Amino acid sequence: MNRLLLLLVRSRAGLVHFMRIAIFIVMAWIGGLKAFQYEADGIVPFVANSPLMHFFYKQPAEYSAHKNPEGKVVNSNIKWHQANGTYGFSYGLGAVIVLIGILTLAGIWWPRTGVAGGLLTFGMSLVTLSFLVTTPEVYVPALGGDGPTPQHGFPYLSGAGRLVLKDIIMMAGGLIVAADAAERVLKRSGS
């Protein structure tokens, strides 16, 4: 057991770099997917209901009538999303997310850059977690069926809600890599 504990202690710096790599992979993948129609359509409920972002869309309140299920192509909905600004916003957001991932990864070599990447990861995660308050689609709806829906609303997370909640891990990871990079900056400056 002591060998395992010692191995973990000695591996700390490498494990923090692994966290940077993990954040980069998630950011690059998710950010890159923002260039595709299905992903851009999928973030609409989050953006449309967010007091921090709804103004990026021309008609945020009308999104419910134009939802495209993942993988389904409905040309009239796509035209509405084009006019709404859905795709342009998604492309921009994707680029920002990829950039945050790159800044975080760069913290392996450049700690000042890593501080910025870690803090931006924290901030992005904070915004994402706010969707748990602003987006109705993060909770299981009462759809009924052959009987009443016994588990719906808060605290019953839908697939979208479960995806959002996982950002608390990104938030913690961002702070960990920012703190590590800050320590390295201070050591280099002799403070």
DSSP string, 28-59: HHHHHHTTSHHHHHHTHHHHHH-TTTGGGSSS
CA pair distance 170, 58, nearest whole angstrom: 30
Within a domain: 182? yes
* In contact, 124 and 99? CB cutoff 8 Å: no
CA-only gyration radius of the chain, Å: 20
Q: What is the total count of domains within the chain?
A: 1
Within a domain: 3? no
* In contact, 177 and 116? CB cutoff 8 Å: no
Token digits for 105? 């990864």
Within a domain: 5? no
What is the residue range of 39's domain?
Answer: 23-140+148-189
CA pair distance 113, 136, nearest whole angstrom: 36
Instruction: Give the position of tokens 């960990």.
Output: 176
Within a domain: 41? yes
Can you give the pLDDT at residue 184?
95
Length of the chain (residues): 191
Tell me the pLDDT tens digit for each residue of 166-183. Answer: 999 999 999 999 999 999
Up-side HSE of residue 91: CA atoms within 13 Å toward CB?
6
Tell me the pLDDT tens digit for each residue of 86-132. Answer: 999 999 999 999 999 999 999 999 999 999 999 999 999 999 999 99
Residue 136 pLDDT level (bands cut at 50, 70, 90): very high
Can you give the pLDDT at residue 169?
97
Please tell me which residue, 145 or 14, carries the higher pLDDT value.
14
Find the helix packing angle between 12-33 and 167-189, rounded to 10°.
Answer: 130
Within a domain: 16? no
Can you give the pLDDT at residue 142?
85
Question: What would the mean pLDDT of 153-166 be, rounded to a whole number?
Answer: 92
Peptide bond into 150 cis (omega under 30): no
pTM for the full predicted model: 0.90
Instruction: Give the position of tokens 């923090």.
Output: 16
Can you give the pLDDT at residue 22?
98
Within a domain: 117? yes
* Lowest-confidence region among 21-35, 53-67, 102-116, 173-187: 53-67
Whether the per-residue pLDDT at 153 is higher than 90: the answer is: no
Within a domain: 177? yes
